[in-house]
Chains A and B, each alone.
Chain A
Amino acid sequence: MTPLLSVQGITKRYGAHIGCADVSFDLYPGEVMGIVGESGSGKSTLLNCMAGHLTPDAGQVVFDTRTNGPRDTITMSEPERRMLGRTDWAFVHQHARDGLRMGVSAGGNVGERLMAVGERNYGDIRDKATDWLGRVEIDASRVDDRPTTFSGGMQQRLQIARNLVTGPRLVFMDEPTGGLDVSVQARLLDLLRGLVRDMGLSAIIVTHDLAVVRLLADRLMVMKSGRVVEAGLTDQVLDDPQHAYSQLLVSSVLQV
């Protein structure tokens, strides 16, 4: 089987400082990959390099495109990459306001990607937006309200709806449950798990919350100082960590 995403030797430096170094892995269709590690370990840097928000200094990010098969997204043209960014890829930011248009209604936020790919029927766009609000458990009566009137958890669910409406094949998430209350986190995690399963999504989730990867990720990469120090099936890594740093990470969580 062709990997959906094949990452090879990704390195990103900030001046002399290393953001992430020599990261390689394959992600297969339907798989969810978790990336964990302490603050500053390079998780967001790696994610942003893969999603095209940062240009790495070295490496390839090969995506299996619908029309042309595997293509290196780092060397493809910017228009092509931006097109991927609003069709086959989705990006869920930690802070919903970074991923939403706060001055636009919930319906407009969800409809934007549809309009960006050429949908021109108002009724259809609105129906799809309303349907997606329902799928992320936001009442249809809120379709014309702005996200500024939503709670943090609702904003995050709206961001997810806005990203998934065009049926992307790969979702990048950076701390999607960060900054939310514990009970709100749990509900969001349940929702995400349901969506990933129902839509057969592939996803890469950055988090420092091991409970999140336990629930969502099939596989896990542990990062330290910009490098991957351990990778494997989630349960294996969490239950039987091999690397001393992973052991520390797992045990420090278990102590909480």
Chain B
Amino acid sequence: MTEYNFAYLDEQTKRMIRRAILKGLAIPGYQVPFASREMPMPYGWGTGGVQVSAAVLTPKDMFKVIDQGADDTTNAVSIRTFFQRTAGVATTTATSDATVIQTRHRIPEEPLHEGQILVYQVPIPEPLRFLEPRESETRKMHSLEEYGLMHVKLYEDISRHGHIATSYAYPVKVEGRYVMDPSPIPKFDNPKLGDMAAIQLFGAGREQRIYALPPYTQVVSLDFEDHPFEASKADHPCGMCGATDSYLDELIIDDAGGRMFVCSDTDYCEARQTAGHKGKDAA
């Protein structure tokens, strides 16, 4: 059996990643380059997030992993198992009990508290990439705060669809300075990014970038005066727990095309059901 260092990565690598994280926290929203390591999983599985988690986990931590809000997808289970094996940390599905939460595509519904760390898996960290493929140019645009191009993207959205159709990875401005890609979370989650009590860390493995939001950071979603940002969601209550304030997934439930809307955050939904809340589709 192979012996791993705590949390798989060697101490020198973890130190290098921690330095990148600290720099990211010191300059909120700024993309810090780091030397991404090979991890024993493919890039699409969130190797950036895994490396950040490995660098911040301590033996006393309580670790939670969510994928699209759910604790039980293959991706979430395998990352959770990975750290159980390599770091021996305790794991949980309860948002409030976790000290480190690694996530793909969602922010938990339950407000996070001080002392918690939320680690995002990021596929493409560069929000300007869509219109400006040259890395040298996007770096200059960030350093000179030339962000007109971000609004060109939103302009194109409105001209094509009549409204801002971007519904995931919706760009934000951090502390009035850096424009940041919040990773492919639904824009419904954008308002939670700002003024959050927990530390937020973003890791992009293939692109070798780490960025961060320290607690209580100002985060503003970009928009136009006459097309203001809206944190939209499906206009239904959750079929299982009846919640009206949570982000919903639409499920097809039978061959006749029957549909049901249910919380994407499984922990939130189950906790509400346990507390006695019932939606119209609950058995």
- Please list the residues of chain A having a beta carbon within 8 angstroms of any beta carbon in chain B: 78-79, 82, 86, 101, 103-105, 107-108, 111-113, 115-117, 120-123, 125-126, 143-144
28 pairs, CB–CB < 8 Å, chain A vs chain B: A78-B144, A82-B146, A101-B152, A104-B131, A104-B152, A104-B156, A105-B159, A105-B160, A107-B155, A107-B159, A108-B155, A108-B156, A108-B159, A111-B152, A111-B155, A113-B148, A115-B149, A115-B151, A116-B148, A116-B149, A117-B148, A120-B151, A120-B223, A121-B224, A121-B225, A121-B226, A122-B225, A122-B227
A113 to B148, CA, bound (A): 7
**Residue on A nearest B158 in the bound complex, by CB:** A122
Residues of A within 8 A of B149 (CB): 112, 115-116
Interface string of B203-228 (1 = CB under 8 A from A): 00000000000000000000111110
Partner of A82, one of B144, B152, B160, B223: B144
Task: Check A122 against B148 for contact (C-beta < 8 Å).
Answer: no
Residues of A within 8 A of B226 (CB): 121-123
**Among A78, A104, A113: residue with most chain B CB under 10 A:** A104
How close is A54's CB to chain B, nearest CB, in angstroms? 16
**Among B144, B159, B225: residue with most chain A CB under 10 A:** B159
Task: Check A120 against B131 for contact (C-beta < 8 Å).
Answer: no
Interface string of B127-149 (1 = CB under 8 A from A): 00001000000000000101011
Partner of B156, one of A78, A79, A105, A123: A105
A203 to B159, CA, bound (A): 33
The 8 lowest CB-CB distance pairs between A and B, nearest first, are: A116-B148, A115-B151, A122-B224, A115-B148, A121-B225, A79-B144, A144-B159, A108-B156
A112 to B155, CA, bound (A): 9
Interface string of B53-93 (1 = CB under 8 A from A): 00000000000000000000000000000000000000000
A234 to B3, CA, bound (A): 82
How close is B251's CB to chain A, nearest CB, in angstroms? 35
- Please list the residues of chain B having a beta carbon within 8 angstroms of any beta carbon in chain A: 131, 144, 146, 148-149, 151-152, 155-156, 158-160, 223-227
A108 to B156, CA, bound (A): 6
Task: Check B131 against A103 for contact (C-beta < 8 Å).
Answer: yes
**Residue on A nearest B143 in the bound complex, by CB:** A79
Residues of A within 8 A of B224 (CB): 120-122
**Residue on A nearest B164 in the bound complex, by CB:** A122
Residues of B within 8 A of A105 (CB): 156, 159-160
Residues of B within 8 A of A143 (CB): 159
Residues of A within 8 A of B156 (CB): 104-105, 108
Contacts known (A115-B152, A120-B151); A126 close to B159, Cβ less than 8 A: yes
A108 to B154, CA, bound (A): 10
Task: Check A108 against B152 for contact (C-beta < 8 Å).
Answer: yes
How close is A123's CB to chain B, nearest CB, in angstroms? 5
How close is B146's CB to chain A, nearest CB, in angstroms? 7
A51 to B185, CA, bound (A): 42
A79 to B144, CA, bound (A): 6
A116 to B151, CA, bound (A): 8
Task: Check A116 against B146 for contact (C-beta < 8 Å).
Answer: yes
**Residue on A nearest B149 in the bound complex, by CB:** A112
A123 to B160, CA, bound (A): 14
A125 to B227, CA, bound (A): 12
A103 to B160, CA, bound (A): 13
How close is B164's CB to chain A, nearest CB, in angstroms? 9
A233 to B271, CA, bound (A): 84
A108 to B155, CA, bound (A): 7
Extra contacts besides A121-B224, A122-B155 (11): CB < 8 Å? A82-B146, A101-B131, A104-B156, A105-B159, A108-B155, A113-B148, A115-B149, A115-B155, A120-B223, A125-B155, A126-B159
**Residue on A nearest B132 in the bound complex, by CB:** A101
Contacts known (A112-B149, A115-B148, A144-B160); A120 close to B225, Cβ less than 8 A: yes
A104 to B159, CA, bound (A): 11
Contacts known (A101-B131, A121-B224); A112 close to B152, Cβ less than 8 A: yes
A190 to B224, CA, bound (A): 37
How close is B262's CB to chain A, nearest CB, in angstroms? 35
A103 to B148, CA, bound (A): 16
Residues of B within 8 A of A116 (CB): 146, 148-149
How close is A85's CB to chain B, nearest CB, in angstroms? 10
**Among A105, A107, A108: residue with most chain B CB under 10 A:** A108
